Each structure stands twice: as C-alpha cells, then as structure tokens.
Structure 1
C-alpha cells in the first residue's frame, strides 16, 4: 500500500469532484444516487405493473411484503390519509437502503476497474466514493427535502394563517399583552425545533455511514501484511455482517422519523 494506511484512507475519502457553475460538485455521489434511485423505480414499477390477484411470483411477493411492512409502520404512526405518506416512506426507506448497501461493496473495486482498463498510474489519481450516504451533501439534501414536505403538510392541515399563528403563539400560550411579549420567544423556539429536525436526520445517517465506511478502511489496513491478513479477513466479515443491521436500521430510522415529523406537523397545538 503505497504511502501507508493514512494515504490509503485519504485516497478513499476523496470524492470525484467536478465543477458546476463554478462550484464543486461530487460527481460520484450524484451518479451512484441517481442510478440506485432509477433501479428502485424500475424494480418496484415493474412488479407493480405485473401484479396479479392470483399466486404472486417471488419478486412480486417480496415487493408486496416490503410495501405492506412500510404501510403498517406508517399506519401505526400516522393516523391521517396515508395516500401520499406511505409512498414517501417507501421511497425514503428503499433509496436509503440501496445507498447504504453500497458500503458492502469492496473499497478497491473502482480502483481495480480503472487499473484493468486504464492502468495503475491513472487509478492512483482517480477518485470514486461508492457510498452516497457517507457524503453529508446527500443526507442534507434528503433531510432538506423532508423539511419542505413537513412545511407543506403543516400548511395543508392548518392553512398559512394557522401555521403562522402557531409559530407565534406556541409553545408558550398566553393572552392579551403577554401573548404579544412572548411572540419573539415562541418564534425562536419554533425555528429551533423546526431546524433541528432536518439537521438531526442528516447528521445521524451521515455519522453512522461515514463511521462504518471508515471502519472498513481501517480493517483493510490489516490485510496489507501476511501476519494480520487472516485476522483482517475475519474482522472484515464480522463487521460486514454487523453492518447489514446498521444499513437497514438507519434507513428505517430515517423513514420512521420522517413519518413521525409529518404527523407532528399536522397536529394543532
């Protein structure tokens, strides 16, 4: 490993960056996220169009099982009309699972492919990160999207005036002059509460996936020596199996918190 473990980790933590309108753009994150999103749409759309009332195929049965599971979770958490909430929850869960699962692909696969096609010298200066959710840009983009959806639900349930009134009068309810005095305090508290939601969603998912990616890189350092190769393989397999739980759990948490936040946004305080 040329340059040692530090250089190895630094290389694998570097994004494939290009410029868009003069700003850095993580091409690898965008490309992988787009491809995985399209795979989800094509996969589930294919079985949705071919769905039959008879005995389902294995593929259709799996898709139905996932949809029923997500709908059941939404039903337990959100007690309003689920026509738009369940598809949103399904999309979030499956897309995040797909992006998280990229962490199980060998770290050196992109470099190996570049080496095989363009040579080792080109591969040494090529960068491509496979895990979109280990990029803070991805998790914040998802959480910001959720944030605007929450505002949409709040306005839909309460109206623009009702939502604005709630921001100014809750959580510290008062009457008369004190109600006016408490408006700045209520606004500050509500702004903090609303901003914490997308920030916590983004940071939780990013932190877990970035940490998991980093552990895989550290374990890879054990495989550079014959003395530690076998322990490295064992540690890699053990962490990979445990990481499957993290992949599914983090997607589930992101999805269920989104539904919880939507339910809260529609409540009247």
Structure 2
C-alpha cells in the first residue's frame, strides 16, 4: 500500500513527493537530491562506456560490447545525417546528452516510495516521513535549464569558432533582414533583437520541453498511486500503473532523442550563415 494512507490523503502524498531535499548554498535553495542523482547517473554512464571501450576487441564482440557499439553507431548515424562538418566533438557530445538524459528520465520508472522505504529501513518511519527526495532529475526545472544553458554556450562556441568573433557579431547586426547603406544602420537594432530572441528561444524550448514531459509523467504516476490507497482500487491501480509505465518508456527515450537531435541541429545552424 502507498504511504499516503493515514497521512493526509492524496494531496499531502503528492505534495510530499514533489518536495525537494534542499539546503542553503550561495545564498539560495540548492536541490541536493537532484544534484546527487544527476551526478551519480553521469558517473555510471562514464564508467559503463569507459570500461566497454577499454575491454573492446576487434574480434567477435561480447553482448555488452555489441550493445554499446549499437548505441554509438545509432547516435553517430543521426549526427552524420544532421551535421555535415567535423563531427569528432559533436558525436561524443550527442552520445553523452542522449545517454545521460535517458538515465535521468528512467528514474521515473522506479517506485515513488522507494526513497522513503530506504530511509525508513535505515533510520525509522518518523525520519522517512520528514525526508524529501525526488529521484527524477529531469522533472526539476533546474536540471533541464542547466543542460540547455550548457548547450547554449556550446552553440556560441561553435558559432564564434566557425565565423570568428567579428563575423558572428556582424551576422547579429545584418541578418536576417539584409539591407544596404542607410537602411543597414536602421535595421541593425531590429536584426540584433531578432537574433537575441532566436538564440534565447533555443535553450528555453529545450529546457521546457524536457521538463514538461517528465514532470507531467511524474504527476501521472502520483495520481495513479492514489488508486492504490484502498483494497478495492488496488488492482485497477496496479494495471493502470503498469500500462502507464510501458507507455512512459517511449516518452523517456523520445525526449532524450529530441533533446539530443535538436542540440545537433542547433550546432549545425550555429556554424552556418544566414
């Protein structure tokens, strides 16, 4: 049975599971649960693929090596189809983004009450009731914006690398409305404003799309958990939970793929001129 029984109903249950384990850092609220889970999953990815690369052989691959190679070839193929320049740095970036986001999204498939159960097992029921932990980093807007802002600076780096600082600055003032003479001076502020909006929309859309889908999926799991609060609705709740989990696997993979492929598309666009 869910821990919501006897603890104030579904509203309090959802509120409890939407609360982060926070602390003060740099004068503001810091989500320790988001940071720890994200860091741990990132290290798991690096360890897994690092060991696979070290153990890779030229002969008949093991099942583990074949699986890693299949993922890498899929990502590299997507990058090759989208980005037509030197992809030696772009393909590893795309692979890292895809796998890290998949790992973070997959945390949504773990039982909601698992963190509380672990704390209760170790420290007791009273401690568990007052311990907050959200284990889906991508359902935290801080995570998705941190990822998208990182991509934003990578895009700036690619744009400046391809066009030079002066070339990039000139493009901001002369595109998309190309003009000559006096009209070029008149249109420069308009062009600059349009380009600033275009550049800022990219990280915002990346962050909000991923956050919205994962936050919505998390809420659905919490609402379904309300069906498990009584013996009468427990079996329908299990069925609904299983069905949503199966469907949510598609969302988990699709959102990671969209974030990755849009990053590659944006990099390609940043290196090209208007």
Q: Structures share a fold, TM > 0.5? A: yes
**Is 1:96 paired with 2:101?**
yes
Give the whole-Å Cα distance in 2 for the aligned partners of 1:13 and 1:124. 14
Please, what TM-score do these two structures have when normalized by structure 2? 0.98
Q: Please state whether the residue corresponding to 2:24 is helix, strand or coil.
A: strand
CA apart distance, 1:119: 1.1
Q: CA deviation at 1:20?
A: 1.2
3-state secondary structure, aligned to 1:160: helix
Match of 2:59 among 54, 61, 81: 54
Distance 1:44 1:62 in 2: 10
Structure 1 position 22, deviation (Å): 2.4
Tell me the CA shift for residue 19 of structure 1.
1.1
1: distance between equivalents of 2:213 and 2:197?
A: 24
Given the alignment of the two structures, is residue 245 of structure 1 paired with residue 236 of structure 2, yes or no?
A: no
Partner secondary structure for residue 223 of structure 1: helix
TM-superposed deviation, 1:50: 1.1
Unpaired stretches in structure 1, ≥5 consecutive residues: none
2:45 matched residue in structure 1: 40
How far, CA to CA, are the matches of 1:36 and 1:137 in structure 2?
16
Aligned to 1:76: 81
Q: Choose the corresponding residue for 2:118, options 113, 121, 142.
A: 113
Q: CA deviation at 1:21?
A: 2.4
**Cα deviation digits, residues 29-78 of structure 1 (max 9, x gap):** 00000000000000000010111100011111010000000000000000
Structure 1: distance between partners of 2:68 and 2:118? 32
TM-score normalized with structure 1 length: 0.99
Q: Where do 5+ consecutive residues of structure 2 fail to align?
A: none
* Equivalences, count: 269
